[in-house]
Chain A
Amino acid sequence: MIQLKDIIKIFTTKGEDIHAVRNVTLDINDGEIFGIIGYSGAGKSTLVRIINQLEKQDSGEVIINGTDIGKLKDSELRKERQKIGMIFQHFNLLWSRTVEENIAFPLEIAKVGKEERQKRVDELIKLVGLEGRGKAYPSELSGGQKQRIGIARALANNPEILLCDEATSALDPDTTESILDLLKRINKELGITIVMITHQMEVVQKICHRIAVMSDGRIVEEGTVKDIFENPKHEVTKRFVTNVDSNGKIEKIQKELKELYPFGQIVRLSFTGEISKKPILDTVLKKVNFPVSIVNANIGHSQIGPMGVMYVHISNGTESEYQEFVKLLRDEGVIVEVL
């Protein structure tokens, strides 16, 4: 378990203080995929870098499985770091080493013998699906393959924790998908706790169990993906959640729909989990006697099941009929917003 207790980090540059992390307290459980989401400059990277002490906090404690790692001696900290893997947005591989040699690097640091090293490297190459590319240099591989080396390298010393700082931000959507699948599999099969930093809601939606939303150095909201999606409270969270539909084009979509359908009402419905599987719309539509047309929809799949947002246009009805429609949907557990 990772426990962050009242962490504060202030950078001083040219006499100006930047409060990168302000009083963050957070518990991350063993075996979970924990997402930290926030806009650029929110302090996410600083926070994860504090977890493995690449950055020292100004106050507060970082306790990993009972050990206060801020108080460790240099040599003890280095031992501890071998148990915390980390992957990066820009992979940070060694250009001068082959794929195999890159993966062997953390094993060399951990003083693993040559034969055992080779055995472990072969296992890892298989695990991340880079068979046959072991002798290649990183520059000869694609971004997705480079990140696979990064992941294999991070897993080399059988860590209990894997920190990912924007691990998919430099990759295209398909490659992102495959890397996320790999991380999910690693979490399931090896039981490794994963801390994922990202500014992409799709990423947390797809693989995280719990998330924390960070803004201006603070954790403004924390909970399961389901809770956060169904009931976002903070302004920043709402922006992230609503941005999931059609990849951040929400405002544009809503504006367009209003222009396209000046009469009647546009209603936004969001579904999560079990209810997405039920024929709710069908049930509800049978009870109303005005036309309902779907004008925009986006359904995705997340850790907690399908998740979707749909816009419908209703017209030729009375105000009370509209209200009845909304009520029927809400009774079924759909989040409804009349625009």
Chain B
Amino acid sequence: MSWLTNINWEQIYEALVETIYMTGVSMIFIVVFGLLIGILLYCTQTGGLYENKYISKVVDVTVNVLRAIPFIIMVFLIIPFTKFLCGTMLGATAAIPSLVFTASPFFARLCVIAFNEVDKGTIEASEAMGASKFEIITKVLLPEALPAIVSGISVTAVTLVGYTAMSGAIGAGGLGNVAYLYGFSRRNGTILYMATAMVVIIVFILQGIGDYLVSKIDKR
């Protein structure tokens, strides 16, 4: 068991916390922004509750452009913005803006798909009952799309863990940083495998929680 002594457990633990912190905090912003953008896209699309060609087009193009930018390039692109917000471009907190920028449009798309899955007839029935547009969004659209949204959250969170590892390698800390700095650069295979195992476990847990929640709330 001598290989275990090669590991600085404190370091691994710290990295784990950083990874969870980056993923968790980013996810909160991503869910909020993604939902808002998703609702905006859904409502302004042709035949939507607030049909508006121009807003729809502008948001649609913006989302597509943001999604087309690879994460690693996004990090560099928004350095000035990150510095303005966080005062630095290093550390776990500084990784959050670029994570949010990259994953929000992705999650917004998943939300639009989820909303479009909601039966048009159900929305129409609500209109026939005299529901306002706001009530339709809050009482029909969101609850009916919830299973698909939760599943979208777990997919996004899994992707996000991957991104945190990447940003870790360029100075954000977390498991990616440990894997790169100690595992790869200093040729410590054990640490590399350990960090990998941690990431895989986090992903499994996230996916597991997601699947469990979806099966609990999906009444269809």
Contact = CB atoms under 8 A, between A and B. Distances in A.
Interface in A62-106: 77-82, 84, 86, 88, 90, 92-97, 105-106
A111 to B, nearest CB: 10
Contact of A81 (B130, B217, B220): B130
A81 B125 CA distance: 11
A54 interface: yes
Interface string A152-177: 01000100000100000000000000
A80 B130 CA distance: 8
Given A137-B219, A139-B219, A94 B130 contact: no
Interface in B103-140: 119, 121-122, 124-132, 135, 139-140
Interface residues of B, number: 21
A187 to B, nearest CB: 19
B146 interface: yes
A97 B119 contact: no
A94 B143 contact: yes
Interface in B78-118: none
Contact of A109 (B119, B124, B135): B135
A90 B121 contact: yes
B18 interface: no
B9 to A, nearest CB: 45
B60 to A, nearest CB: 22
The binding surface of chain B is classed by DSSP as helix
A17 to B, nearest CB: 19
B128 A81 contact: yes
Contact of A94 (B127, B128, B132, B144): B144
The binding surface of chain A is classed by DSSP as mixed
A81 B131 CA distance: 9
Q: Determine the interface band of chain A, counting residues with CB < 8 A from chain B.
A: 20 to 34
A336 to B, nearest CB: 46
B140 A94 contact: yes
A109 B128 contact: no
Contact of A96 (B121, B131, B144): B144
Contacts of A54: 124, 127-128
A108 interface: yes
B130 A82 contact: yes
Contacts of A157: 129
B128 A86 contact: yes
A147 B121 CA distance: 14
A95 B219 contact: yes
Nearest to B142: A96
A110 B132 CA distance: 11
B142 to A, nearest CB: 9
Nearest to A96: B143
- Which of A54, A96, A108 has most chain B Cβ within 10 Å? A96
A78 B128 contact: no
A52 interface: yes
A81 B132 CA distance: 11
Contacts of B135: 109
Nearest to A81: B130
Contacts of B219: 95-96, 137-139
- Which of B129, B132, B135, B139 has most chain A Cβ within 10 Å? B129
Given A77-B130, A93-B125, 18 more contacts: A54-B128, A78-B132, A79-B130, A81-B127, A81-B130, A82-B129, A92-B121, A92-B122, A94-B140, A94-B143, A95-B122, A96-B143, A96-B146, A106-B130, A109-B130, A109-B131, A109-B135, A163-B128
6 contacts: A81-B130, A86-B125, A94-B143, A95-B144, A106-B130, A153-B129
Interface of A: 52, 54, 77-82, 84, 86, 88, 90, 92-97, 105-106, 108-110, 137-139, 153, 157, 163
For the complex of A and B, the 4 pairs showing the least CB-CB separation, nearest first, are A81-B130, A92-B125, A92-B121, A78-B130
